[in-house]
Amino acid sequence: MEDFLREIEGKQSHDPHYAFQRISKCSGSDSTPIIVGAGPSGLAVAACLKERGIASVILERSDCIASLWQRKTYGRLRLHLPKQFCELPMMGFPPASPTYPDKREFVDYLEAYARRFGIRPQFNEKVVVAEHDGALGLWRVRSVGSKNGEEKEYVCRWLVVATGENAEVVWPEIEGMGDFGGPIKHTSTYRSGEEFRGKSMLVVGCGNSGMEVCLDLCNHNAMPSLVVRDTVHVLPRDVLGRSTFGLSMWLLKWLPMRLVDRLLLLAARVMLGDTARLGLNRPKVGPLELKNLNGKTPVLDVGTLAKIKSGDIKVYPGIRRLKHQTVEFVDGRRENFDAIILATGYKSNVPTWLEERSMFSKDDGFPRRAFPNGWKGECGLYAVGFTKRGLLGASMDARRIAEDIERSWKEEEKHRIQFPNFVVPKSS
């Protein structure tokens, strides 16, 4: 009898139907979508699904929602765009909130959003691998507890990648970094210029973060300099009392993009002057066209340019090498600095844990298909937060994903009703 039972068990272990049942008992229903990442994008998908009566599971490696905002941003940070362009689906900001909410106000909004839609992510669960099981027609998702090291495996028919564009810091390789001797830190660990009061600082990177960190250092009586390695569009945050971004979106309804770009550059020239004279050369392509082509965001000035004009912030070209407390630039100049802040941005980490070859590029971890077609892959795989168009793009994709999963979910339910005692795994 024991030999007979072992033979039956061995046959069942190679039967996809029985394997499906065994995994489902361990990990819950395969009809529950799994969302990896509890940032704004993941919350948006979960809310859109919830409104359609579909529960989801969110796996988050950190101990809170929006960990980038809560754990890796400086104190003076505000939304760069007006709040109406940063709202998630089905819920706006409180009417009394400012046009440009600060860090705390934005986090409060996200926490209120999660409460409203009953979203409760499973925190401290880092997804280490996700791969599609062709025999089952399901995704296997394995996680490790960030605190206790507990390993778990989930199976699901729909997997939503919501880890976003800013999952890991970009730490550039600069010759002589080990010889510098002073602090070198990324903006992800920078909180305030208070700790650098009276010190000579070098900020590497001239995006919105680099420019704001320089301004923050100035406001705390530090002596910052800015490394500008590439061309950059600097625009006023507001034009005639209206946000530059909002004005651009309005103009695009009536005018072609290149003409809107010309108007923006004309306004910038009138309000900010010739930035090239300050060491900030503009790209040949206009700001909106450049954003549309490669996702490079223009800098929206909140006061940094005035500090550059006054000489409170010095501008340098790229770095050639570092020596002890000294930086040698590509133009041959050498200057002494007490510390360096790397405002070199973030990158996707999808290739480190997602085992799939068709939807995401292994080079940059972004969907291979450009916006607006990069949200859907094969076999129930989706991506949200990779549009390079901020929260507006994430919200658009969240709605599309929820609608597509609902359609597929209803088809699955019809199949279950027709064949309640028989499960046929599907590959798509």
Integer CA distances (angstroms), 419 to 137, 158, 172, 405, 415, in order: 17, 21, 56, 21, 6
Does 133 fall in a domain? yes
Assigned token pair, 318: 């790229």
Question: What pLDDT is recorded for position 412?
Answer: 73
DSSP state of 167: S
Q: Domain boundary residue among 318, 346, 374?
A: 346
What is the rounded CA–CA span in Å between residue 70 and residue 194? 19
- Pairwise CA distance, residues 410 & 388, whole Å: 31
Q: Is a pLDDT exceeding 60 seen at residue 116?
A: yes
User: Under DSSP, is residue 28 helix (H, G, I), strand (E, B) or coil?
Assistant: coil
Instruction: Tell me whether residue 428 is in a domain.
Output: no
pLDDT at 224 over 90: yes
* Residue of 45, 61, 297 lying closest to 167 (CA atoms): 61
pLDDT score of 27 more than 50: no
pLDDT band of residue 147 (cuts 50, 70, 90) is confident
Least confident of 207-216, 364-373, 415-424: 415-424
* pLDDT tens for each residue of 312-321: 999 999 999 9
d(Cα 122, Cα 62) in Å, to the nearest integer?
9
Report in angstroms the alpha-carbon separations of 56 from 30, 32, 121: 11, 5, 9
Q: Is there a domain that residue 121 lies in?
A: yes
Whether pLDDT at 236 is above 60: yes
Residue ending a domain, choose from 315, 346, 377: 346
Q: Please report whether residue 423 resides in a domain.
A: no
- Assess whether pLDDT exceeds 80 at residue 18: no
Contacts by 101-109, CB closer than 8 A, 24 or more apart: 102/76, 102/77, 102/78, 103/69, 103/73, 103/75, 103/77, 103/78, 106/66, 106/69, 106/79, 107/66, 107/69, 107/70
Q: Please state the rounded mean pLDDT for residues 244-271.
A: 95
Same domain, yes or no, for 97 and 163? yes
Q: Which residue has the higher pLDDT, 258 or 12?
A: 258
Measured between alpha carbons, how far is 350 from 129 in angstroms, rounded to an integer?
10
**301, 272 in Cβ contact below 8 A?**
yes
Are residue 314 and residue 355 in the same domain, yes or no? no
Distance CA 400, CA 386 (A): 14
pLDDT confidence bin for 293, thresholds 50/70/90: confident
Phi, psi of 142 (to 5 degrees): -110, 135
Q: Which of 43, 86, 48, 46 is nearest to 66 (CA)?
A: 43
Contacts of 74 (CB under 8 A, 6+ apart): 187, 190, 191, 192, 209, 212, 213, 216
DSSP 185: E
How far is 423 from 428, CA to CA, in rounded Å? Answer: 15
Q: Are residues 250 and 341 in the same domain?
A: yes
Q: What is the mean pLDDT of residues 195-223?
A: 96
Identify the burial level of 419 via C-beta atoms within 10 angstroms of its C-beta, where 0-12 means exposed, 13-18 middle and 19 or more buried: exposed
Give the H/E segment covering residue 335. Answer: strand 334-336
Q: Quick check: is 386 in a domain?
A: yes
Q: Please indicate, yes or no, whether residues 201 and 156 belong to a single structural domain of this protein.
A: no
| Residue 188 domain flag | yes
Q: Which long-range contacts (CB under 8 A, 24 or more apart) does 18-21 make?
A: 19/135, 19/136, 20/136, 20/138, 20/155, 20/423, 20/425, 21/423
**Same domain membership, residue 111 and residue 87:** yes
Does 336 share its domain with 359?
no
Q: What is the CATH number of the domain that holds 228?
A: 3.50.50.60
Alpha carbon distance, N-terminus to C-terminus of the chain? 40
Q: Point out the domain boundary residue: 346, 368, 400.
A: 346
Domain range enclosing 268: 170-346
Check whether 22 has a pLDDT greater than 60: no
For residue 25, pLDDT over 50 is answered with no
The pLDDT tens digits for 367-383 are 999 888 999 999 999 99
pLDDT value for 14: 40
Residue 416 pLDDT class (50, 70, 90 cuts): low
Residues 176 and 318 in one domain: yes
User: 341 and 380 share a domain?
Assistant: no
Tell which residue, 94, 140, 157, 89, has the closest CA to residue 397. Answer: 89
Of 321, 342, 323, the closest CA to residue 332 belongs to 321
pLDDT confidence band for 205 (50 / 70 / 90)? very high
pLDDT at 168 over 90: yes
Average pLDDT of the segment spanning 122-136: 95
Measured at the CA of 93, the angle between CA 88 and CA 99, to 5 degrees, comes to 110
Q: Are residues 216 and 331 in the same domain?
A: yes
Write phi, then psi, for 424 (nearest 5 degrees): -115, 105
254 exposure class (CB count in 10 Å sphere: 0-12, 13-18, 19+) = exposed
In the predicted model, what is the mean pLDDT of the chain?
90
Tell me, yes or no, if the pTM score tops 0.85.
yes
Q: Is residue 181 domain-shared with residue 225, that is, in the same domain?
A: yes
**62-97: pLDDT as tens digits:** 999 999 999 999 999 999 999 999 999 999 999 999
3-state SS class at 139: strand
The verdict on residue 179 lying in a domain is yes
Residues 340 and 353 in one domain: no
| Residue 143, strand partner residues | 127, 152
Q: Does residue 120 lie within any of the structural domains?
A: yes
State the pLDDT at residue 420.
Answer: 52
Number of structural domains (the chain) is: 2
In the chain, % of residues over pLDDT 70: 90
Comparing 15 with 377, the larger pLDDT belongs to 377
Do 65 and 181 belong to one domain? Answer: no
Please give the share of the chain, as a percent, with pLDDT higher than 90.
Answer: 83
